[in-house]
Structure 1
Amino acid sequence: MAYQEIDAPFSGSPQPERVVTADSLGRVLLTVTARALAGRAGDELDEPTAASRARGFAATSDDEALAAGAARVALAPEDLKLVDADAVAAWVTAQYPVVDPGFPAVVIGSPHGSAAHLAATMGAPWLPASFEVTVRWPDGAVDDPEAAQRQGAASASDLLAANPSVAIRQVHDPVLRGPAAGTTLSLFTRWRRLPPAYRVFLLRQLRPGATVLLVGDGRTWPVFDLGAAHSFQLGAPSSGLQPDDFVRPGPDLVQALRRADGEPRAWLPPATPPTMGLAESGLEVEFEDDLRETVGDVAGRPLSVRYGRPAALSAAVAGSVRGWLVGAGKSADRLAVGCGRLLDPGQALRSALVPYWCEAPLRDEVAEAECWVAGSPAFRSIDVLIEPPGRPSAVVAPLRQWDAVAWFSQQRAAVDRLGTRSYPYGTLPTRHASLVLSALREDLPVPPPMTPEAATRDLRAYGTPLGLSVC
């Protein structure tokens, strides 16, 4: 298979590999989906970056060193004037092979592990509607969100000046990012229109009548609108906390600030009242409109898949894949529960595993996984992979709750012990998931890809009762 080549203005700009945060969920999903379509294993993926280690800081770590390491691998503020979002889009599409007569479908939108599993099962690419950029914050202060907003405004202004077709959502979250929140800024860069490389890819690489699934995160969060396509939010849904916990510091925020040498009493949110809006992984309205206009003549109207809870899409995709495996003559009685960045869609296909994905190791997320497993036909084997959150908390699932998910297995219940060794601290690389899953018995050959028609039918059947919208 040849790889697609699209001319893109890379010269003079930071390379996309540096622009897109290495351990961001969207970057991981792009990598594992592209490898699945190319039939490549993920066990040689890189170890966590310094930013990753700061995100999941360990109980015995040198927090100051981790914060400095995160800054070293981040972009310099002056680099933002040279960032080219169109070049990033060209780099994204270049990860996928050129196929003849074209892909039967494409999944595009918010980062969700089960969307990557669904794309791989259909033999389709997954394209992100946004990407995360991490920027150095000289003299930053983890306990000063107003200072983060001011510094972010300058960074966003430079990025937007070079890229008027994007919007910037800045997130300041010491709970999720640990000490790195005091040395770097996190800018979620969301395309407001289809970038040229996406447009070319969709028009050239989709076969006539292909299905376009637009997956959108419908969760809301208080947002400070700073104008000029720049907005700011404190905390994020994947922290497991409530927005008020970031206004009047709750126990998790207090703990995170103290670990990063911050002062909880100094924490003051911006004075401007926020309004409720889509959280950082949400889609820009103009992006959806542009997608519909672009692919209308090639693929017809895109199907919109919206979730208010990540578990709704996870359960719908797991049910769909299980039905596809049964229809292909597989036993479909082996389940793999992934978490965060620990997933490998390609290895799941080779081993005929039913994939269920938890966004984060939170009590509510694991409880939903437990309920889904309990209400499903019994699995003979259940393997559970846990991405440690890097912090203890009342909202983090205890190990016994993860064990309870595996206990529904009829024969083999396996919770990965490397992930539990220092839980809830530590960080595991994505390739750890590949290594664990590759040790399982493969069930070859892989069946023909799930048809897009079956995928959309089953998403409606399994997801609608859970609140998933497919229309």
Structure 2
Amino acid sequence: MRTDPGGKLQRGAKHGKSLVADMESSVTAVRMISGFLSGSTAPVLSGVPSSSAAADAVSALPQRMQNKAFELAGRSEALRQKKISDIDVDAIDQWVVEQYSARRTGRTSYPAVVMGSVSGAAFFLAAALGVPFLPQTTLVAVNDGDTDPDDPHQAMRRWAPAAQQIAANNPRVSVYHMHDPAQDRPMMKQTAFFRLKRAGLGPVYREFLRNSLAPEGHVITLENTRTWRVTQTGERSFFQFGCLGGMPEEEYVSGSQRLHDFLEAEGSAQRHWEAPAPTGRRPDGEWGFDPAFGTDLDELASGAGWRRRRLYQNEPQDASAFLAELYRDWYRRLGWEDNRLLAQTYTLLDPRATMATGSVPFWNRFHMQPSFDVLSEYLHTAQPYEEILISLFSNGVRSPGLVDLSQWEALAATHASTRGEVIGVNPETFPFDAGHPLRFQQALEAAGPHRDLPEPLTVAEVDAFARAYGIAVSAGSLPEHHDDVAGEGFRNPVSWVGD
């Protein structure tokens, strides 16, 4: 076990950059917010500029080659197996805070910092406040060409030693080996995924807060309470089979006719999955919040005189309606129109283009039925929009629960009074549109005329809106949350928690 934190810090941001994956939700949030604060637009793939022409060229490739592109996308960012011992959460944290350095953003102090679970709030709340986002969880990918996606027992046995090694070398993280053959299937053919969930701030985040957060500033935690069944494989190492998406958690275990049909269509020898026996439930590997992180932060904030706020939700999309209405209220008070909704999916989003075009953001977790239902519910209750534009993510597989493009188009057209459509998507190839990361930002930029960005919101303004919206509570009156493991579609309340 490494015991020299100073030595870790010296390895620095360069090593951390080599460990993180562009395709990952938390890393995308860091890059997008860093770009926003520095006055630029960060491409969804670092170093690859947005280009409709390039996207169309990729989408014109034969289907077999596009499928291969998804498979290679994961491998291109994966570490070689012999580099597993180099995985260092402090180096990753150093890369994170470097994205908000004065060299990049021109700023040395912030009135607030957003931390914790990734969700739409990591993008759109942080952007509205004009402050950094520091993630609790980040992904590390490792090359793997030997694991059968439909044999979770084999996958767990194959990679448990690696998860144990990463956990032993990084004592303040829990390591989740994530295995989801429904949604990550193309990339899983050559890649294994490990999510590192921090149970404490660590030296890098602590130093950043002490140096960059203004006196009496606010620390806002994004807390997704969703848990998932896991199998413990070692001290602080876990195997998670499945993830939030189109299939309910229970369906990964019990099976279904649509899963049978999916596996048959994929050419699998299996017609259902034999999942390892769970040993308990833990915060979801990608989206869940480990409360130990918040406890550590509370102690630091109390001693430093910082104020605390918490956005408390169960699933990561639960607060999307609140954030959309926060932006509408903000735009109205600015004297702007608030009649265009930009529904943006997973990592295909752009806070700068959203705000510059005066568009209201609504974050979809994915392009699956649960996300479709949440957006549909919002549109049925919200004041009508003139325009509704939806960007969709392609993951290279027709997963159970996928909502067809025509249904998304119909949803937008039904609820928009003048213009409702899906943008940035090749309708001929979705959800196998390998060019979509290169196309969507230009589509967002063209959503409407541009204007200068407004001055950021203050935490006091968010407080006032949360009270008016009816979700402001004290820490002692948090609602109880229940995980929707069977896909019944019930909703848990969202809370904005004050000091």
| TM-score (normalised: structure 1) | 0.88
Shift of 1:152: 2.0
Q: Determine if the alignment matches structure 1 residue 435 to structure 2 residue 461.
A: no
- Amino acid of the residue matched to residue 95 of structure 1? Q
Shift of 1:416: 1.2
Q: Determine if the alignment matches structure 1 residue 142 to structure 2 residue 168.
A: no
Alignment partner of 2:64 out of 61, 65, 82? 61
Shift of 1:125: 0.8
Measured against aligned partners, the alpha-carbon deviations of 1:302-353 in whole angstroms (never above 9, x if no partner) come to: 2222212333211111111111111111112221110111100011111111
Measured against aligned partners, the alpha-carbon deviations of 1:9-36 in whole angstroms (never above 9, x if no partner) come to: 327x983223112201111111111111
- Amino acid of the residue matched to residue 128 of structure 1? P
Shift of 1:61: 2.4
Q: Determine if the alignment matches structure 1 residue 374 to structure 2 residue 380.
A: yes
Shift of 1:66: 5.4
| TM-score (normalised: structure 2) | 0.83
Partner SS state of residue 338, structure 1: strand
User: Aligned equivalents of 2:330 and 2:451: distance in 1?
Assistant: 15
Partner SS state of residue 75, structure 1: coil
User: CA 1:134 to 1:44, structure 2 compared with 1: closer, same or farther past 3 Å?
Assistant: closer
Measured against aligned partners, the alpha-carbon deviations of 1:282-306 in whole angstroms (never above 9, x if no partner) come to: 1223211111112224453422222
Shift of 1:256: 5.8
Identity of aligned residues (%): 26
Shift of 1:72: 5.1
Measured against aligned partners, the alpha-carbon deviations of 1:379-420 in whole angstroms (never above 9, x if no partner) come to: 222221111343335522222331233222222223216343
Alignment partner of 2:330 out of 324, 334, 339? 324
- Amino acid of the residue matched to residue 35 of structure 1? G
Does the aligned pair in 1 maintain the 2:89–2:170 contact within 8 Å?
yes
Q: Determine if the alignment matches structure 1 residue 198 to structure 2 residue 205.
A: yes
Structure 2 counterparts to residues 43-442 of structure 1, below 5 A: 43=43, 45-46=45-46, 60-61=63-64, 67=71, 70-71=74-75, 73-98=77-102, 102-237=109-244, 239-251=245-257, 253-254=259-260, 257=263, 262-264=268-270, 267-270=273-276, 272-280=277-285, 281-393=287-399, 395-407=401-413, 408-416=415-423, 418-442=425-449
Does the aligned pair in 2 maintain the 1:110–1:129 contact within 8 Å?
yes
User: Aligned equivalents of 2:19 and 2:263: distance in 1?
Assistant: 27
User: Aligned equivalents of 1:41 and 1:193: distance in 2?
Assistant: 31
- Amino acid of the residue matched to residue 406 of structure 1? A
Measured against aligned partners, the alpha-carbon deviations of 1:186-223 in whole angstroms (never above 9, x if no partner) come to: 11101111021111111111112222111022112211
Shift of 1:91: 0.5
- Amino acid of the residue matched to residue 164 of structure 2? S
User: Aligned equivalents of 1:169 and 1:185: distance in 2?
Assistant: 11
Shift of 1:462: 3.5
- Which residue does 2:35 correspond to in 1? 35
User: Aligned equivalents of 2:213 and 2:412: distance in 1?
Assistant: 39
Does the aligned pair in 2 maintain the 1:25–1:341 contact within 8 Å?
yes
Partner SS state of residue 194, structure 2: strand
- Amino acid of the residue matched to residue 90 of structure 1? Q
User: CA 1:322 to 1:66, structure 2 compared with 1: closer, same or farther past 3 Å?
Assistant: closer
User: Aligned equivalents of 1:110 and 1:419: distance in 2?
Assistant: 31
- Which residue does 1:8 correspond to in 2? 9
User: CA 1:81 to 1:463, structure 2 compared with 1: closer, same or farther past 3 Å?
Assistant: farther
User: CA 1:311 to 1:69, structure 2 compared with 1: closer, same or farther past 3 Å?
Assistant: closer
Structure 2 unaligned residues grouped into runs of 5+: 1-6, 50-58, 473-491
Does the aligned pair in 1 maintain the 2:74–2:190 contact within 8 Å?
yes
Shift of 1:86: 0.4
User: Aligned equivalents of 1:217 and 1:202: distance in 2?
Assistant: 22
User: Aligned equivalents of 1:20 and 1:463: distance in 2?
Assistant: 38
User: Aligned equivalents of 1:429 and 1:147: distance in 2?
Assistant: 33
Measured against aligned partners, the alpha-carbon deviations of 1:159-206 in whole angstroms (never above 9, x if no partner) come to: 123211111011111111113324322111011110211111111111
Deviates further, 185-194 or 404-413: 404-413
User: Aligned equivalents of 1:382 and 1:66: distance in 2?
Assistant: 29
Deviates further, 62-71 or 314-323: 62-71
Deviates further, 417-426 or 355-364: 417-426
Partner SS state of residue 245, structure 1: helix
Deviates further, 423-432 or 334-343: 423-432
- Which residue does 1:19 correspond to in 2? 19
Does the aligned pair in 2 maintain the 1:70–1:184 contact within 8 Å?
yes
Does the aligned pair in 1 maintain the 2:182–2:400 contact within 8 Å?
no
User: Aligned equivalents of 2:323 and 2:406: distance in 1?
Assistant: 26
Shift of 1:95: 0.5
- Which residue does 1:457 correspond to in 2? 464
User: CA 1:76 to 1:96, structure 2 compared with 1: closer, same or farther past 3 Å?
Assistant: same
